[in-house]
Each structure stands twice: as C-alpha cells, then as structure tokens.
Amino acid sequence: MTYLAFVLQERRLLTFGVSLTFFSSLGQTFLISLFVPFFLEDFALTNTGFGTMYSAATLISAASMPWLGQWIDRIPLRWYSLSVAIGLVIATSLVMLSWHIAILFTGILFLRLSGQGLSGHTAETAMARLYSRERGKALSVSSLGYPIGEAVLPVVIASLFTILHWRTIWGLLALSVLIVLIPLLYLLIGRQREGKINPGKSGSVPERAFEKYPLIFRDSRIWFIIPTVLMPPFWVTGLFLYQISIGSHLGWSAGLIATAFISFAVFRIFSALTVGPLIDRFSAQALFPTLLLPMTAAFLVPMLFSGQWTPFLYMGLLGMTMGAGGNIKSALWAELFGTEMIGTVRSLFSSVMVFSTALSPSLFGWLLDIETHIYYIFVAGVITTLISALLALRIHPGLR
C-alpha cells in the first residue's frame, strides 16, 4: 500500500499517534532546555545543581516506566492515553506554579514521565500492535509529531519570551493540552479500534508482567542491543540540555542554534519516512546496526569543520538517527518478542532509555562547570557510538 493510500485509510489512528508524539515535546529536553536560564536565575541554581535535579527526576521517571507502561496491555487505549494527557496537564501546571524548588522538581518529574516517557510509548505501542505488514509506515507517520514539535515549538516559545513571563508560557502549554490534546484523544479512538489494540481483558491487573522481564533478559541478543538503545537518548539529552553553553564554545549563537533545530526536524522527518518502507522490506533486525552511524558523523562535524553551516549539518545528522531510531526499535521489539506483550517490552526498554537520559544532565553539567573542552566530549561520542554499532551487528540476520 502506498503512503498516501495508507494515510487516508488509517487517518484517525495515525492522527492519534501524531498528536501524542507532538505533545511529548513538553517533556523533551529540547523544550525544557529553553527555560533553563530562567530556572538557574529564579531558583539560584548552578549548571551542576540543575543537572543533578534533572537527572534525579528522570531516574524516578525511568523507574516508574516498567510498571506504568505495561498497563497499556491491560486497559482500553482511550483511557490509558487520557491518563497520560492528564499527567501532562498536572506537570505543566506544577512548573507554572513552582514557588519552591521542590515543586519545580515535581513538575519536571511529571514532564519527563508523561511527556518524554509515556506519550511516545503510547503512540508507538499502538502502531506496532495494530499493524503487521504496514508496521514500518505506521510508525514512520505517527513519529512525525516529534520533528514537528522540534521545528515549531522552539520558534514559538522564543517569540513568546519577548512578550510573556516564562510561567505564563507554561500556563499556555497546560491550556493547550487541556483544550486540544484531551478532546482529540477521546474522539479519535473508538470502541471498535480499542478492541483491536488491546487484546488483554480490560481492567485486568498486570500482576504477572514483571515475571516476563527475566525472560526478556535471558535472550542473549538483548545485551548486544542495549548499547545502541542507550546512546541516542544519552547524548541528545546532554547536548540539547546545555546547547547554549556548548554552542558558545563552538562560536554558535543562541539564535543560530534555534534555527538549526529546523534542520534537525527536517532530517528527522526524512529519516522517519524513509526508514518505514525499508523496515517493511528488509526487517528492523537488518537495519538496527546502522542506526548510530549518522550520530557518529554528527560528532565529527564540529571537530573537523567550522563556519555558520556546521550546526545545520550537525543537527541534521542527529535528526537522522533520532528519526529512524524510534521506528526501528519499535518494529524490532515486535519482531523479536511478538505483538501480544509489546507494551510490556516497550515499557521496559523505554525505562532503560529514560535511565540513560538521567545520566547525562549531571555529567554534562559537571564537565561544563570544570571547563572541559567540548572536543573531548565529541571524541567520547565517536568512540561510544562506534563500539555500540559494532556490537549491534550481532543481531543482523546475515551475520549470525
């Protein structure tokens, strides 16, 4: 089936997926990083202090994901997705009202959990479970919400900073979830489609879900997969959270970096749409070892070149890995473990990925505070991504 025919036929569910991936931006590092200078000033925080708080919030989110994420296998998708959206309303409201650093911490925790963790998990699990032959296309289309958010929201928020207080902006974000996302989710998922997406008995308690986790880790291929799963969220979180500080070391202005996010979004869209048919044709297992190669090239760009064009190529290559990554990994779990327990499997590995994002903020904050040269950080990026890519070759069907 062609992309156009597929989108027209499945427009309701695909719109559901795009809506969730777009609003997941509220908990993503690229958006939160725009407010970091205000957090540092209003709460008298250092880079290391904020990074440690951000890491702690992300760690708690990661620890919660295996339990909260597996419920998508047990309850109707409409109610599960609405619960995630309500979590986003609570998160954005807490950040807006944060009169104390403890309230800010709680708000960031809910942002990381509901936004970065559960929103994408809900969209990708629904796509991977419902579709078989067209799984790659479904994942590619639904993931378009990520780059759309990355292209649109930084520009909009940067414009709002000139006329509104940062707390007011968070209030507008809360209002957008309340009046746009929640009604959309309720309307787009009907009872008939829920029955296909949720094979388990509605309302049943997932008391046996944790018994499946040891079985997953007994599969020897997992240990060759995990490094490649960890690298993109680890590096992108650290680099984006402190993008202004890192950019200053490279001679990139804040405005140039914000504009370069368009390149990130465009390449992410291109990669996401291109990889879908490739998954359907060659399998996710065959494509997985190539996932980190654009990211490795991205680290080399600022080390080898200078000029105003370098952030665009750097961001574009990062976007290629991020665009292909979600689709390849979601399809990979379905290929390796089947679709019946994909919610449980995805929640486990989402937790692993979120855990990796918890490590980088405090580490990057400390490295910047001790004035580590940015090139040393990029060298570490090249080494870790190349080693991970070599390990991932173990699961390629032609190299076993």
According to DSSP, residue 119 is labeled I
With contact defined as beta carbons under 8 Å apart, do 337 and 345 qualify? yes
Among the listed residues 327, 339, 307, the one whose alpha carbon sits nearest the alpha carbon of residue 139: 327
Residue 212: what pLDDT? Answer: 64
Please give the Cα distance from 33 to 244 (Å, whole number): 9
pLDDT digits 0-9 by tens, 163-212: 999 999 999 999 999 999 999 988 887 654 544 445 444 444 344 555 56
Say if residue 280's pLDDT is above 50: yes
Residue 340: what pLDDT? Answer: 66
With contact defined as beta carbons under 8 Å apart, do 90 and 292 qualify? no
Residue 190: what pLDDT? Answer: 62
Question: SS3 for 240-262, per residue?
Answer: HHCHHHHHHHHCCCHHHHHHHHH
Helical segments of 283-341, H only: 284-287, 293-304, 310-337
With contact defined as beta carbons under 8 Å apart, do 118 and 18 qualify? no
Please give the Cα distance from 237 to 355 (Å, whole number): 11
Residue 203: what pLDDT? Answer: 40
Share of the chain above pLDDT 90, in %: 32
Say if residue 1's pLDDT is above 60: no
Sequential DSSP letters for 292-308: THHHHHHHHHHHH--ST
Tell me which of 145 and 221 has the higher pLDDT: 145
Say if residue 354's pLDDT is above 60: yes
Residue 101: what pLDDT? Answer: 93
Over range 232-239, report the average pLDDT: 89
Say if residue 96's pLDDT is above 90: yes
Q: Exposed (0-12), middle (13-18) or buried (19+): which is 56, by Cβ within 10 Å? A: middle
Lowest mean pLDDT, pick from 6-15, 55-64, 197-206, 252-261: 197-206
Q: Mean pLDDT for the chain? A: 84
Residue 128: what pLDDT? Answer: 75
Structural domain boundaries in the chain: 11-198+209-399
The two structure tokens encoding residue 189: 């998922």
Please give the Cα distance from 117 to 114 (Å, whole number): 6
Q: How far is CA 317 from CA 70, 204, 294, 302, in A?
A: 32, 43, 5, 12
Q: Taking the mean position of all CA atoms in its chain, how far away is CA 55?
A: 16
The CATH number corresponding to 11-198+209-399 among 1.20.1250.20, 1.20.210.10, 3.40.50.1220, 1.20.1050.10 equals 1.20.1250.20
The two structure tokens encoding residue 250: 């490279």
Place of tokens 């292209």: 151
Please give the Cα distance from 334 to 342 (Å, whole number): 6
